[in-house]
Amino acid sequence: MSGYRKHPKEGTIGNIVLKALEKNPKVTVEELLPVILKKFPESKFGKTHLSWYRYQVRKGNYLTPIGDKPAPVKSGKLKGKKERAQAKTDALAGKK
């Protein structure tokens, strides 16, 4: 698991996005942008940013009602460098 599992800081774009995701996990950029631009008029927030926050919540990197439990690792897909290295070592040693 990543080293930055945390609550979002108050008064940040991340806080606005994560609160919106708590209320409606299917919130769109079009719904969020007016709220973000009101507080951060120079923001370049877009679809890729919203996707990044959703991904971080799914991975369990933010402590929110929708992110308190990390997403299960799908079979065959490991999360971090250490796990991938271990899987490679196991594969070379003939382990499953």
Read off the pTM. 0.60
Taking only the tens place, the pLDDT of each residue in 35-53 is 999 999 999 999 999 999 9
Domain ranges in the chain are 13-92
Taking only the tens place, the pLDDT of each residue in 70-94 is 444 445 554 567 776 777 777 777 7
Between CA 28 and CA 24 the distance in angstroms is 9
Residue 46 backbone class (left: φ over 0; alpha: ψ -120 to 50; beta: rest): beta
Residue 49: partners with Cβ closer than 8 Å, 6 or more residues away: 13, 17
